[in-house]
Structure 1
Amino acid sequence: MTEAKRPVTLITGATGGIGVALARALSGAHGLILQGRDGERLEALCAEVDGRPLLLDLTKPATFAEAVAGLERVTNVVHNAGVVELGAVEEQGHEVWTHTLAVNVVAPAALTRALLPRVRDERGTFVFVNSGAGLQANAGWGSYAASKFALKALADSLRAEEAAHGVRVSTVYPGRTAGPMQQKVREQEGGPYDGATYLRAETVAATIRFVLDAPRDATLPDVGVRPGPGQGAKG
């Protein structure tokens, strides 16, 4: 595939578990723009997968337009970055809510707006990595679930708005996925962490690649990913 025809995919949260797995899954077939905050980790990953680093703090949307100004083609955007802090509504202060919504909702909306002209030009795809918490809110998950419900609303609105421009919009809902975020969640829940009982990050990455590479006559609005038979998280 020539460089001109190869899709260019931007991944946020690229140095996290699913982000790293997706960068590796797309390497070679897609040009990669990888967003992160840790410059050293980002440079190492970009060297491994031949990607372009995008050092960007997602809590500062006012910087997004300038940060992406030098980008040329962007075919796809995978909104993968996210934060989680568990706690009851009566316990969590506004700082937790503000930070969670800023990273999980405001940043994807602002970055989508900054990149939309490029993705329209390519008739590309936006993928929003959501969560089961974006479909059902449980006790102790209020701030995170609220952000993921809002992320679903963002994706649904964008899909309706951009259909006329040939832009596809998909939401992927992974179950619990092995990695640092799940380790943190299990610590907050007070339970053990056993990565073997969760989805592999590579499995979620393969699903996202399937969505990105789907034939142009198909769109996959909502895709759930759960552990296969005989597997599943405990606790």
Structure 2
Amino acid sequence: MSKGTALIVGVGPGLGLALAETFARDGHRVALFGRDAERLEKHAAELTGQGFTAGAYQADAGAPEDLRAALGRAVDDFGAPEVLVYNAALLQPDTPTGVDAESWVRTLAVNVTGAVVAARTVLPLLRDGRGSLLFTGGGFALQPSPEYTTLSVGKAALRAYVQALHADQHGSDVHASTVTVAGAIGGEDPRFAPDVLAAAYLDLHHQPKDQWQAELVYA
């Protein structure tokens, strides 16, 4: 039986690309989303050159209509999705007293609202009503940083949203979960290498239904 499409929102050269490669190797058609069209096309071409089916879709995760439209184009091109991975985030150094209203709006649009838009868009499109909605969380959701305030608040809000979504989907065939990455991705610790992390997302997707969890804390 063929596998449904994997939609990877927030693809860069690190974890996003590793996620696309991992789900492609698992037999999924993969759609890559991000703001840098040239880089996305390069990544998609590399995957296609390896014999996988991949496509690039430029989209701003912080612009709801733009994101919804891009997700719709990918589903039209590749068919019903089986997996959504929301990996987009806007990281900027800031402090609790140094963030203006415009920065809050801009960062939360990507770090939280984009995830909600993606989930609401993809949920009714899942093939046979089955699949996984996976989200990249962060350790700042558990231990907020005064040097990365908007990211801390965004990851905390995302964690709460996904836990609520997980509970909302209880009894369905949809697994909603967040991977709370409590470490530096691509740093010196090999546990946080992008390909190692991506394998944890794939494991969540393949997790037996009676073991489904709202959160995987990866520390």
Same fold (TM over 0.5): yes
Does the CA-based 8 Å contact 2:10-2:16 persist in structure 1?
yes
Quick one: which of 52, 55, 62 aligns to 2:55? Answer: 52
d(CA) in 2 for partners of 1:53 and 1:140? 34
Tell me how far 1:123 sits from its aligned partner: 0.8
Amino acid at match of 2:203: F
Match of residue 196 from structure 1: 188
Listed as ranges, the matches of 1:1-235 within 5 Å are 2=1, 5-29=2-26, 30-49=28-47, 50-70=53-73, 71=75, 72-119=79-126, 121-179=128-186, 195-197=187-189, 199-226=192-219
d(CA) in 2 for partners of 1:68 and 1:160? 24
d(CA) in 1 for partners of 2:101 and 2:150? 10
Change (3 A) 1:139 1:66: closer
Does the CA-based 8 Å contact 1:120-1:167 persist in structure 2?
no
d(CA) in 2 for partners of 1:178 and 1:151? 18
Tell me how far 1:124 sits from its aligned partner: 0.4
Instruction: Give 3-state SS (helix, strand or coil) of 1:214's partner.
Output: coil
Tell me how far 1:120 sits from its aligned partner: 6.5
Query: Structure 2, unaligned stretches of length 5 or more?
Result: 48-52
Tell me how far 1:102 sits from its aligned partner: 0.5
Match of residue 50 from structure 2: none
Does the CA-based 8 Å contact 1:174-1:224 persist in structure 2?
yes
Instruction: Give 3-state SS (helix, strand or coil) of 1:75's partner.
Output: strand
1:145-204 per-residue CA deviation (whole Å, 9 max, x = no partner) reads 11111101110111121223321111101122344xxxxxxxxxxxxxxx3246211221
d(CA) in 2 for partners of 1:74 and 1:175? 28
What TM-score, normalized by structure 1, do the two folds share?
0.81
1:48-84 per-residue CA deviation (whole Å, 9 max, x = no partner) reads 2231222111121023333333313111101111111
Query: Structure 1, unaligned stretches of length 5 or more?
Result: 180-194, 227-235
Over the aligned positions, Cα root-mean-square deviation in angstroms equals: 1.8
d(CA) in 1 for partners of 2:70 and 2:138? 28
Identical pairs, percent? 29
Does the CA-based 8 Å contact 1:74-1:122 persist in structure 2?
no
Match of residue 191 from structure 1: none
Instruction: Give 3-state SS (helix, strand or coil) of 1:128's partner.
Output: strand
Match of residue 230 from structure 1: none
d(CA) in 1 for partners of 2:100 and 2:68? 30
Instruction: Give 3-state SS (helix, strand or coil) of 1:163's partner.
Output: coil
d(CA) in 2 for partners of 1:131 and 1:79? 13
What TM-score, normalized by structure 2, do the two folds share?
0.87
